[in-house]
Amino acid sequence: MDINEIFSSGFDSETLTVSINAAPFAPGLLASRKLYREVPMSTTTAVIELIDEILRLVQSSPRGAPADIHTSATRRIVEFAAARLLTQQTIHADSWQDRRGFGSGALASIEGERDRFLAEMRRRLEASIEYHRTRALAGVVLDADGSVMLDLLAEFGVSQNTQSMALATPTTNVRNQIMAAKRKAEIELGSMRPKSWLAVCSASFFDALTAHPSVVEAVAGWDAASVLRADVRADFGFANVQFVEVRNAANVTWIEADTAYLVPEGVPDLFLTHYAPADYMETANTMAQPLYAKAEIGSMGRSIRLESQTNPVSFCTKPRAVVKLTA
């Protein structure tokens, strides 16, 4: 089989893109809960129109006196540029020659090597998207090296909503602190009502919360699945909030120590991930795919360079609706 036959049998751009989008999906917490609505676009910039409407009562006035003056809601445009996340790997002929295919007695095929690399690339890209989404809850999206990619708070011109939980004080009523944080988020949401509440927590915050005397007392009468006897880091319900510990991974901090973020779920278009097209000739100005893959023949046909990319931008349209909880 010559190199052209190899490309026609599964290394063209369309086949590779279909393959990587169909690869097994290993969702993170936010992806599995479908917190972010995914929106394909044909440009590289997400343009969001906002209306800042504040409900005010009408002041009464005597007949014949000047009327209350109505002030219209403020409309404004916010733009967010999509980031290009591109990763590459080269398949050398000698890297699969004489090798046994994983889990089989047969010799490895180049298609098998292709699928293995595509799966690895997809996992890295999905982890990157999940990290961006998690950091968007904090109001500042960070890149892999810790640099700021997108400062949502600055773009919206707001400060982060915070609530001290005072978990170091034994007499704190933790339920009341959670209610106070919910009310802060509800003020920002206005007439929109969350269907549920999620709190993504660092390990230290989760431990401080579940060990607090008022929490221990509240769950003391629960069954054997209670926090007093079982590991509930994946799902601890308290005050109608699901607290979930988020582990640090990939050598980056996902949630700061002694911190959690209270997130309203089920609010339409509160959390969005927009995807831009890849930077290929054939994808310019087309509706974006979540993931792309492409291949290129190396020198003298001894190798194939394989690459995959995604071009996402994730953000919260009301950053102050997410409340930062501090231990």
What SS3 string covers 197-253?
Answer: EEEEECHHHHHHHHCCHHHHHHHCCCCCCCCCCCCCCCCEEECCEEEEECCCECCEC
SS3 content of the chain, % helix, strand, coil (to 5): 30, 30, 40
Residues 153 and 319: beta-carbon distance below 8 Å: yes
Of 9 and 294, more confident: 294
Average of per-residue pLDDT across 188-212: 95
Q: Is the Cα dihedral 15, 16, 22, 23 positive or negative?
A: positive
Residue 201, strand partner residues:
245, 260
Mean pLDDT of the chain: 88
Interatomic CA distance for residues 292 and 282, integer angstroms: 12
Q: Tell me which residue of 48, 46, 52 sits closest to 78, measured CA to CA.
A: 48
Q: Tell me which residue of 10, 35, 16 sits closest to 293, measured CA to CA.
A: 16
Predicted pLDDT of residue 16: 82
Q: Tell me which residue of 185, 208, 205, 207 sits closest to 197, measured CA to CA.
A: 185
The reported pTM is 0.87
Domains and CATH numbers, the chain: 3-52+76-326 (3.90.1690)
Range from 49-63, 111-125, 148-162 that averages highest in pLDDT: 148-162
Average of per-residue pLDDT across 145-171: 95
Q: Is it the case that residue 273 has pLDDT exceeding 80?
A: yes
Q: What is the DSSP letter of 288?
A: P
Residues 234 and 225: beta-carbon distance below 8 Å: no
Predicted pLDDT of residue 65: 87
Interatomic CA distance for residues 273 and 303, integer angstroms: 35
Other C-beta atoms within 10 Å of 186: how many?
16
Predicted pLDDT of residue 101: 61
Q: Tell me which residue of 283, 291, 254, 250 sits closest to 84, measured CA to CA.
A: 291
Read off the pLDDT band of 225 (50, 70, 90).
very low
Read off the pLDDT band of 304 (50, 70, 90).
confident
Predicted pLDDT of residue 321: 97
Predicted pLDDT of residue 9: 60
Read off the pLDDT band of 224 (50, 70, 90).
very low
Out of 70-79, 122-131, 163-172, 316-325, least confident range = 70-79
Predicted pLDDT of residue 92: 85
